[in-house]
Chain A
Amino acid sequence: MLLEISSLRGGYKPIEVLRGITMHVDDGEIVAVLGSNGAGKSTLNNTVCGLFPAFGGEIRFEGRDITRARHTDIVAAGLIQVPEGRRVFPNLSVLENLRLGSYRRGRERREQNLEKIFALFPRLRERAEQRAGTLSGGEQQMLAIGRGLMGEPRLLILDEPSLGLSPLLVEEMFALIKRLNEDGLSILLVEQNVGQSLEIARRAYVIENGVLNFEGTPAELLANPQLKRAYLGI
């Protein structure tokens, strides 16, 4: 098992947002984490990545206990998050943003990986010298993902990658995620866009109020009339 989370509790002291989450990601999977706004999805990401302290429970990555590890060590281990809102460095050029993606990991193969990213996102090569803050939302999302890939992730956490993109770009984004996975990357996809996420995910979890209320395959989720009504509105 690549990522194994058991009975994880966490949040913003003293408020407990995550109230016992148990889930896992296997090597090579796309796993979707769904849930409405405020359900605790981003808190889950940030606790897993070591930005917020866990109140209890356990997180294991490739068998290693990382529950209390520092965020720097977690990145070094290859668990890399592409955050909601992109969080690119607006005052740095596209190239510098990508280089910093390999600040903690993958530095030896930085130039080779840069080539790969530019092949994946030709648009970024065109804008290599441009400041990231001047890019469009879609380009910034590509850059954020590119920056994440520069760290040679073993598991990539994508937090709301389709947020704020035009419908056409959303399509492209999900196609890209699928392609990355087919090339062997394990992905934890945290999304509000339930329909598209279920199309590419192997398994899905649904979080509500800090607890899981569903886990299973997309087909099972779609077969559950209650969840279908709650999350797909059909």
Chain B
Amino acid sequence: MLELSILFPALLNGLTMGAVYALIALGLTLIYGVLHIINFAHGAALMMALYGVYYLKDSAGIDPYLALPVVIPVMFAAGYALQRGVIGRASHGKDENILLVTLGISIVLENLALFLFRSDTRTIDTPYTLSTLDIAGAMISLPKVVAFGGALVTAAVLLLIVYGTDLGRAIRACAKERQGAKLVGIDVDHVFAMSFGIGLACLGAAACFLLPAYYVNPTVGNGFVLIAFTVVVLGGMGSFSGALLGGFIIGIVESVGGLWLGESLGQIGIFLIFIAVLLFRPQGLFGAKA
């Protein structure tokens, strides 16, 4: 049996990563819930945001955490414009078209990154990169603790928007009843674009919290989008509380799995969960039956 002194830090590590997974998955589930599409460009968008954070630090010397007020609005605007100008227009009202368009966007973005930034894996160096925090005897990397707190705060803000504002109500209304939404004067295209923008804004926040303890290369998004997708399926497609809980579960499974099986094989637990959910509870933990 593993000793508590090893298990406890692994659990904490899992929680911190889980919070970031949850944040990425929240964006994915928001877009799914409203637009009924899986945004295949989610990983590529995260990668672009990570590069944004990287170059803000590398060229302009802006600390990743201070970059939040820049990266979040830029990602939001990019998402809004992408949905309004490209995805919405190219879809012609067909969900399978949207799927292909987002896949296309991800391929374009990845290759653009390869061309512009080359395939090197890059990291940033901050004064606190190697700092650790002592939590009940467990040494946790400080950036991870910040990521945990930041991801939770961002998730709380997102939930406040979704459940406490007219925009949020309109987003949820458009998810289920577009005709009714139009009849109360909701501009459905605008709400779709806002949803997509908010979904990508979550990635902007995630990128700022991730990079001090992580790296960036043109394919870094793929791993995240796969995990985020698992989180969304585990929690229930379109469910916000599901995405939050699912993120933590996956983070802990990955971290504790890594203890037994090693860093790279540890991820196997995530996909075992994925298969088990699909087999036994395809609607996810919080999902409504189709």
- A-side residues, CB < 8 A to B, are 49, 51, 70-72, 74-76, 80-83, 86-92, 96, 99-101, 103-105, 107, 147, 151
Bound complex: CA A103 to CA B181 (Å): 10
B166's partner among A71, A75, A99, A151 (CB-CB below 8 A) is A99
Report B179 CB to chain A, min CB distance, Å: 5
The answer to whether residues A92 and B173 also contact, given A99-B166, A100-B166 and a CB cut-off of 8 A, is: yes
Bound complex: CA A104 to CA B170 (Å): 11
B179 touches A75 (CB 8 A): no
The answer to whether residues A87 and B180 also contact, given A72-B185, A72-B186, A72-B187 and a CB cut-off of 8 A, is: yes
A51 touches B182 (CB 8 A): yes
Complex interface bits, B185-204 against A, C-beta within 8 A gives 1, otherwise 0 = 11100000000000000000
- B-side residues, CB < 8 A to A, are 166, 169-170, 172-173, 175-177, 179-187
Bound complex: CA A169 to CA B170 (Å): 30
B185's partner among A88, A89, A105 (CB-CB below 8 A) is A105
- Chain A residues lying within 8 Å of B175, measured Cβ to Cβ, are 91
The answer to whether residues A49 and B180 also contact, given A96-B169, A99-B166, A99-B169 and a CB cut-off of 8 A, is: no
Known: A71-B185, A88-B177; 19 extra A-B contacts, CB below 8 A, are A49-B183, A51-B183, A74-B185, A81-B183, A82-B183, A83-B179, A87-B179, A89-B172, A89-B173, A89-B177, A91-B176, A100-B170, A100-B181, A103-B184, A104-B184, A105-B185, A107-B166, A151-B184, A151-B185
Bound complex: CA A127 to CA B186 (Å): 24
CB-nearest residue of chain A relative to B168? A96
Report B130 CB to chain A, min CB distance, Å: 46
The answer to whether residues A88 and B180 also contact, given A100-B166, A103-B166, A103-B170 and a CB cut-off of 8 A, is: yes
Report A61 CB to chain B, min CB distance, Å: 14
B184 touches A90 (CB 8 A): no
Bound complex: CA A101 to CA B169 (Å): 11
A103 touches B180 (CB 8 A): no
Report A31 CB to chain B, min CB distance, Å: 19
